[in-house]
Structure 1
Amino acid sequence: MTGKVFLHIGLPKTGTTYLQKALWLNKGVLGDAGLLLPGRHQRRHLLASLDILGHSTLSERPGDTDSPWDDLVTESRAWPGDVLITHEFFGSASRRQVRRAVGSFPDAEVHVIVTARAMLDLGISRWQEWVRNGGRKPIDDYPPRKRYDPADEWGWASFDLADVLARWGSVVPHERIHVLPMTPGGPDPTELLTRLLTVVGHAGVAVEMPQQKVNTSLGIVETELLRRINPLLTGFTAPTDRGTWIRGFLAGPQIMATSGERFRPDAETIEELTTRGEQALAMLRTGEYDVVGDLALLEQPDVSDRRHPSEVSDAEQLDSAVRVIAALMVQVRTLTRQRNALRKEMEASGSRVSVARFARGVASKVRKDSPT
């Protein structure tokens, strides 16, 4: 019988990619210590989150999409120890969907883990990430849809901490909701993982840390350039296309090197993000929730010295575009040479070149070379 079930539900852009990479890298050693990450691979948790949210694109995703949430639940129930399920999409679940997720473990003590950062900084980062995934609107028009929709991975429900706490806190006792404040780019990225492992009771496990940097953000110039490119990418509508080719390839560090310059929204947007952030801080200051870390990290930063994306000049974008074109030429030459080498290999063996095999290899190389 399962012991405790920990649901790490986000928020997005709070170190989730690093945490998930580290956890799955250590799936075996954590399992030996009694903590199960159910599923054959990390992607099963993504599919399970879409299942819980009733997402219309679930059936369009690669892999077995029949009942990914139930698959994780079945494996977890058979596990004698504790369980950890992690994906940032869970955070936007409605109260009804939260009841389904928690109710799947009637005999277990369910805990929720929320990694969080200052709302103003998070809102800016979310817009940048949305543009990297094909978004077209200016920063002050984000989120693109204002009404609540649990299946909208870019809406308020996905990253408004106060709203997330209210929905999940309507089902899970507040003392079992663990909030881990963080700030991106800290001196020790492993510290957040240590705190998470402490919450799940496995801080003493010797784990291997990921070496590759993950989720490098674009600077102000590159983000504005990409936002102008996105409307021209009319055929890139599927989530896999946007994730692989826009976010992973075009906006990846090998093609679109980042300046790292941070930016701000306009005064009205700053006010709204600040108000939402203060609502979350007020909830956490009551002491009802388990705050693991420094709550001051969730206080809103001063962004007055940053530029607004509208201040980026055409000359700056032209310079960035020239560098992107040069990088694309290098990649086209590299991939063409790989294709030609494969053709020679196949001809020498008397076989025909498999276009599908080459395409799979290209996509695999994009995923390998780009931070995720």
Structure 2
Amino acid sequence: MSRTVFLHVGVAKTGTTYLQRLMFTNRDLLRKHGVLYPGERPNAHFLASMDLREAGFGGHQYSGAPGMWQKLVAEANSFPHTTVISHETLARARPNGIERAVVDFSTDDVRVVVTTRDLGRQIPAVWQETVKNRNVQTYSEFLEWVFDATTSDGTTRMNSFWRPQDLPRLVRRWLDGVGDGKVIVVTVPPAGADRQELWRRFAAAVELPDLPYSFDTDVRNVSLGVLQSELLRRMNRHIPEQVEWPMYERRVKREFAEKRLTSLPSSDQIGVPARWREQVGVVAERMTRELAELPIRVIGDVDDLRPRFTEPAGQLPDDISESRLLEAALSVLADLAVSPGAGTPSQPQPVPGASHGDRLGERLQS
């Protein structure tokens, strides 16, 4: 087996959390069969990406990031076979970061894997993820911002959405670093497909051996529906600015949004409004056309990148009534009130008295 390093660079909202958790869960099995998934903790690759790009997240600089990239590189360089490093924030790497990501490894065989899916699913998914990351921008405002950066022929102008989401542009940046033929694009299967099909495609891309992998893990990047996303977006407006990202991530994103809000009766998935669907198709066609001209390998069906708008968008976040939001908020408050530990004084926090229930109650009174 040759020494190859695979860098899975995202993009976000394409099953990356699912793939990363499966690799971490099966890392001992993989290592025994010549594949290294480095790092001792699940967040090691995230911290390594922050280190490589000299970046923070949510306005926060992680103390565990400095030196983490070099630590993973050292593990890879001392391993005689295949290494896989994966994090979606690598899609945001700039040319100097890409160059370092390639030259730091003591092998000439560095390849890049990009997982991607159709814009019809990707655009709403990215918005709801930004809401989980403290964004207060309405869905309509987000869509205006996204499509204001496109032209009638489907060309996009660089902004923080299109930098990782314009697939041909992303692929070209990494081709400049690794060379022709060393970027593999993996398409995410359409909605309703066998969940393990994405794993099979990814495994083919990074040349994983056929092994009895454990698929018991259910860790994934939990998505919110229309009602849940809008409730969280409005609540975000009343989270005190003094609450720093680590606390927000732990208390609001993980505990409140991904556990409490997802316990609400299922709400519709967020769709793309009719007024934007034609432009989504134009951009998608331009991207698939340009991809076909690039010296890359594609695993999956390129047709998977063409949006399938078979149904109306349904109710949008901006259209949720105040009464429905109030009912949902009261349901969450009731759940919080009877939860274990609800009557126990909390540990001191940077912002005294700012419990989830308090902040949500303030929102209802405003």
Q: TM-score, structure 2 length as denominator?
A: 0.82
Distance 1:164 1:242 in 2: 30
Structure 2 counterpart of 1:166, one-letter code:
R
Does structure 1 retain, via aligned residues, the 8 Å contact 2:120–2:272?
A: no
Given that 1:140 and 1:265 are in contact with CA atoms closer than 8 Å, whether structure 2 keeps it comes out as no
Q: Give the superposition deviation at 1:60.
A: 4.9
Q: Give 1:72-221 correspondences, 5 Å limit.
A: 72-142=72-142, 148=158, 155-183=161-189, 186-212=192-218, 214-221=220-227
The one-letter code of the counterpart of 1:299 is R
- Corresponding residue of 1:245: 251
The 1:188–1:264 alpha-carbon spacing in structure 2 relative to 1, beyond 3 Å, is: closer
Kindly state the Cα deviation for residue 265 of structure 1 after the two structures are TM-superposed: 4.2
Query: What CA distance in whole angstroms lies between the structure 2 residues aligned with 1:233 and 1:303?
Result: 38
Which one of 312, 317, 323 corresponds to residue 315 of structure 1? 323
Distance in 1 of aligned mates of 2:242 and 2:283: 33
Which amino acid letter does the alignment assign opposite residue 24 of structure 1? F
Further displaced range: 140-149 or 127-136: 140-149
Counterpart residue type for residue 179 of structure 2:
P
* Farther-moved stretch of structure 1 (210-219 vs 137-146): 137-146
Cα separation, partners in 2 of 1:67 and 1:25, compared to 1, 3 Å: same
What's the counterpart of residue 293 of structure 1?
Answer: 300
Give unmatched runs, 5+ long, in structure 2: 150-156, 350-366
Q: Does residue 325 of the first structure (1) align with residue 333 of the second (2)?
A: yes
Return 5+ residue gaps in structure 1 as ranges.
341-352, 357-372
Tell me by how many angstroms 1:6 deviates. Answer: 0.1
Distance in 2, matches of 1:186 and 1:238, equals 38
Residue deviations 1:325-366, cap 9 Å, x none?
Answer: 1121123xx0257x69xxxxxxxxxxxx9989xxxxxxxxxx
Q: Is the 8 A contact 2:58 2:245 kept in 1?
A: no
Per-residue CA deviations over 1:118-162 (Å, capped at 9, x if unaligned) read 02310110001111121100123338797857xx6xx32233323
**Count of residues in correspondence between the two structures:** 337
Equivalences for 1:20-35 in 2 at 5 Å?
20-35=20-35
Give the 3 Å change call, closer, same or farther, for CA 218–59 of structure 1 in structure 2. closer
In 1, Cα distance between equivalents of 2:84 and 2:184: 13
What is the distance in 1 between the residues matched to 2:136 and 2:58?
23
Aligned to 1:228, which of 223, 234, 250? Answer: 234
Counterpart of 1:308 in structure 2: which amino acid? Answer: L
Give 1:54's aligned amino acid.
Answer: E
Give the direction of change, closer, same or farther, for the CA distance of 1:56–1:355 in structure 2 (3 Å limit): closer
- CA distance in structure 2 between the partners assigned to 1:199 and 1:303 by the alignment: 30
**2:134 partner SS:** coil
CA distance in 2, matches of 1:91, 1:72: 18
How many Å separate the matches in 2 of 1:316 and 1:162? 41
> What does residue 353 of structure 2 align with?
none
1:183 Cα deviation after fit: 3.8
What secondary structure does 2:47 align onto?
A: helix
Amino acid at match of 1:310: D
Asked if 2 retains the 8 angstrom alpha-carbon contact of 1:174 and 1:288, the reply is: yes
Is the 1:220–1:262 contact (alpha carbons within 8 Å) kept by the matching residues of 2?
Answer: yes
Conserved? CA contact 2:21–2:219, under 8 Å: no
Distance 1:196-1:233 versus aligned 2 partners, 3 A rule: same
Q: 1:25 corresponds to which letter in structure 2?
A: T
